[in-house]
């Protein structure tokens, strides 16, 4: 692209390679969100820059009205996606790494959850156990919160407290978590 256009494209692409490295120490718990969102934005920028320079260099006829509508909509959608991933909204997301909640949702799905005060048995909760974030169904509440994966035969032997609970499941999006799982697998194999 730099041979066909100019030096601006490689500089912009390099900038989007460096921004996540700057943001990761600031927001350490959303590293896969930042990496994934900048990868999506980078692909969109490469596409738009390539399309812009190709269409300006060559006289290809295309529908200018649809392009004028498409650019603002894609910028708004990308901005909302990044804001959502950074946790600006009340909802948060997590990619599912196992099939312990099958058939409710599977590995590779993204679960959207919300922080709430009212948690009752039967709710699917998101909680932290050590360095892991787990999504399981709340079975009962006694001294501790007792959880179990829908596909598991036994309850979790975790002494779960109220402060370990991150939120309650709201809905899920199928297959959207696979890119972050692949990135996670790639970086853990590398280390």
pLDDT tens track of the chain, all 191 residues? Answer: 455 556 666 777 777 677 666 666 655 555 666 667 777 777 777 777 767 766 665 544 555 666 677 778 888 887 877 777 666 778 888 889 899 999 999 988 989 899 888 899 999 999 999 888 999 999 999 999 999 999 999 999 999 999 999 999 999 988 888 877 777 777 676 55
Neighbour tally for 14: CB within 10 Å: 10
Give the whole-angstrom CA distance, residue 153 versus residue 7: 59
Q: Quick one: CATH architecture of 91-190?
A: Ribbon (2.10)
Q: Can you give the pLDDT at residue 22?
A: 67
Closest CA to 44 of 74, 67, 23, 10: 74
Q: Kindly give the interhelix angle for 31-57 and 64-85, rounded to the nearest 10 degrees.
A: 170
Q: Can you give the pLDDT at residue 64?
A: 61
Please check whether residue 125 is in contact with residue 165, taking contact to mean a CB–CB distance below 8 angstroms.
yes
Q: Can you give the pLDDT at residue 60?
A: 45
Q: Can you give the pLDDT at residue 62?
A: 53
Closest CA to 173 of 89, 85, 96, 73: 96
Q: Give Cβ neighbours of residue 150 (< 8 Å, ≥ 6 apart).
A: 100, 101, 102, 103, 104, 137
Give the whole-angstrom CA distance, residue 132 versus residue 88: 22
Q: Give Cβ neighbours of residue 138 (< 8 Å, ≥ 6 apart).
A: 119, 120, 121, 122, 123, 124, 125, 145, 146, 147
Closest CA to 118 of 80, 162, 179: 162
| Domain definitions of the chain by residue range | 8-85, 91-190
Torsion of CA 27, 188, 180, 50, to 10 degrees: 90
CA-based max dimension of the chain: 72
């Amino acid at each position: 692209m730099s041979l066909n256009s100019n030096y601006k494209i490689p500089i912009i692409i390099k900038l989007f390679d460096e921004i996540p490295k700057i943001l990761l120490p600031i927001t350490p718990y959303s590293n896969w969100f930042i990496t994934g969102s900048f990868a999506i934005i980078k692909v969109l920028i490469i596409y738009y820059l390539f399309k812009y320079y190709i269409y300006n260099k060559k006289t290809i006829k295309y529908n200018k009205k649809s392009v004028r509508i498409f650019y603002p909509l894609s910028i708004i959608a990308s901005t909302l996606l990044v804001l959502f991933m950074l946790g600006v909204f009340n909802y948060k997301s997590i990619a599912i790494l196992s099939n312990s909640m099958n058939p409710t949702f599977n590995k590779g799905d993204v679960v959207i959850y919300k922080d709430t005060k009212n948690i009752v048995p039967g709710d699917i909760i998101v909680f932290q156990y050590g360095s892991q974030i787990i999504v399981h169904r709340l079975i009962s509440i006694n001294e501790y919160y007792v959880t179990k994966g829908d596909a598991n035969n036994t309850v979790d032997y975790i002494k779960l407290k109220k402060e370990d609970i991150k939120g309650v499941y709201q809905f899920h999006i199928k297959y959207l978590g696979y890119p972050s799982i692949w990135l996670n697998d790639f970086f853990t194999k590398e280390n």
